[in-house]
A and B are shown apart, each in its own frame.
Chain A
Amino acid sequence: MSKVNDVVIKVATVNGTGSASANGLLMKSIFRMGIPVVGKNFFPSNIQGLPTWYEVRVTGDGHQSRADRIDVMIAMNAQTYERDMAEVTPGGWLIYDSTWPRSKLLDRKDITVLGIPLSRMCNERFDGVRARILMKNIAYVGAIAALLDIDLDVIKTLLEQTFASKKHLVASNLEAIMLGYNYAQEQFDCPLPPRLEAMDKTKGHIIVDGNTAAGLGCVYAGATVGAWYPITPSTSVMDAYKSFCKQYRMDEETDGKKFCIIQAEDELAAIGVVLGASWNGARAFTPTSGPGISLMSEFIGFAYYAELPAVIFDIQRTGPSTGMPTRTQQCDLMSCAYASHGDTKHVLLFPANPEECFYMAVNAFDLADRLQTPVMVLSDIDIGMNDWMCPDLKWDENYQPDRGKVLNAEQIESMEKFYRYLDVDGDGIPYRTLPGEHPKGAFFTRGSGHNKYGGYTEDSHEYQEVVDRLLVKWETARKIVPEPEIAYSKFNKTAIVSLGSCDGAVKEALSILEEKNIGLNYCRIKAFPFGDAVRDFIDQHDEIYVVEQNRDAQLRSLLMLDAGIPQTKIQPMLHYNGMPLDASFVVDSVLAEIAKGRAA
Chain B
Amino acid sequence: MSYIAKPNVSHPKAPKNELGLTERDYEGVVSTLCAGCGHDSVTAAIIQAVFELGIEPYKMCKISGIGCSSKTPAYFASQSHGFNSVHGRMPSVTTGANAANSALTYIGVSGDGDSLSIGMGQFAHVIRRNLDMCYVIENNGVYGLTKGQYSATADVGTVGKKGPANKQMPIDPVSTAIGLGATYIARGFSGAKEQLVPLIKGAIMHKGFALLDVISPCVTFNDHEGSTKSYAHTREHYHRVIKTDFVRPSEEIVAAYEAGDTMPIKLHDGSKIVFRRVDKDYDPTSRAAAFSYLRDSVNAGEIITGLLYIDEETGDMHDLSGSVSEPLSKIPYEELNPGADQLASLMDQYR
Contact = CB atoms under 8 A, between A and B. Distances in A.
A254 interface: yes
Interface in B313-348: 318, 321-325, 328-331, 333, 335-340, 342-344, 346-347
Contacts of B325: 254, 256
Contact of A206 (B89, B97, B125, B351): B351
A393 to B, nearest CB: 6
Contacts of B262: none
Interface stretch (A276-284, A466-474, A561-569): A276-284
A274 B96 contact: yes
A224 B329 contact: yes
Given A269-B125, A444-B83, 16 more contacts: A244-B338, A260-B99, A272-B85, A272-B95, A276-B98, A277-B99, A280-B61, A282-B328, A302-B85, A435-B58, A435-B80, A438-B58, A439-B79, A451-B1, A455-B3, A457-B3
A154 B104 CA distance: 56
A274 B93 CA distance: 7
Interface string A186-216: 0000000000000000100111100000001
A396 interface: yes
B195 to A, nearest CB: 29
Nearest to B129: A262
Contact of B58 (A273, A284, A437): A437
Contacts of B1: 451, 453, 455, 457, 459, 462
A225 interface: yes
B149 interface: no
For A220, A258, A277, A298, which residue has the most chain B Cβ atoms within 10 angstroms? A277
Given A227-B96, A276-B92, A264 B329 contact: no
A279 B85 CA distance: 12
Interface in B58-83: 58-59, 61, 63, 73-74, 78-83
Question: Which 3 pairs, one residue from A and one from B, show the smallest C-beta to C-beta distance?
Answer: A276-B96, A272-B92, A256-B324
23 contacts: A207-B350, A225-B100, A248-B342, A258-B324, A268-B122, A269-B91, A269-B121, A272-B85, A273-B92, A273-B95, A276-B95, A280-B61, A280-B96, A281-B100, A281-B329, A282-B100, A299-B85, A393-B343, A395-B337, A436-B59, A444-B83, A455-B1, A455-B3
A425 B70 CA distance: 33
A75 B343 CA distance: 39
Contacts of B121: 265-266, 268-269
Contacts of B299: none
B63 A395 contact: no
A262 B99 contact: yes
Interface of B: 1-3, 56-59, 61, 63, 73-74, 78-86, 89, 91-101, 103-104, 121-122, 124-125, 129, 318, 321-325, 328-331, 333, 335-340, 342-344, 346-347, 350-351
A445 B84 contact: yes
Given A261-B321, A445-B82, A248 B338 contact: yes
Contacts of A248: 338, 342
A17 to B, nearest CB: 25
Interface in A239-271: 244, 247-249, 251, 254-262, 264-266, 268-271
Contact of B328 (A227, A259, A394): A259
Contact of A272 (B61, B93, B351): B93
B117 to A, nearest CB: 14
A459 B2 CA distance: 7
A61 B337 CA distance: 36
Interface in A413-472: 433-439, 441-448, 451, 453, 455-459, 462
Contacts, number: 239
A456 B91 CA distance: 22
A207 B342 CA distance: 17
Contacts of A219: 336-338
Contacts of A271: 92
Interface in A159-178: none
Contacts of B330: 281
Contacts of A93: none
Contact of A456 (B3, B100, B322): B3
Nearest to A433: B81
A400 interface: yes
Contact of B84 (A266, A448, A455): A448
A346 interface: no
Contact of A258 (B56, B94, B336, B343): B336
B101 A395 contact: no
A298 B333 CA distance: 31
Given A258-B324, A396-B340, A273 B99 contact: yes
B74 A444 contact: yes
Interface centre among B86, B322, B347, B351 (most CB of A within 10 A): B351
A257 B100 contact: no
A355 to B, nearest CB: 11
A435 B336 contact: no
Nearest to B332: A222
Contacts of B342: 248
A401 B336 CA distance: 11
B351 A32 contact: yes
A437 B336 CA distance: 21
A394 B329 CA distance: 26
A275 interface: yes
A528 interface: no
B97 A277 contact: yes
A392 interface: yes
Contact of B323 (A256, A273, A277, A298): A256
Given A273-B99, A284-B100, A445 B338 contact: no
A9 B85 CA distance: 53
A181 interface: no
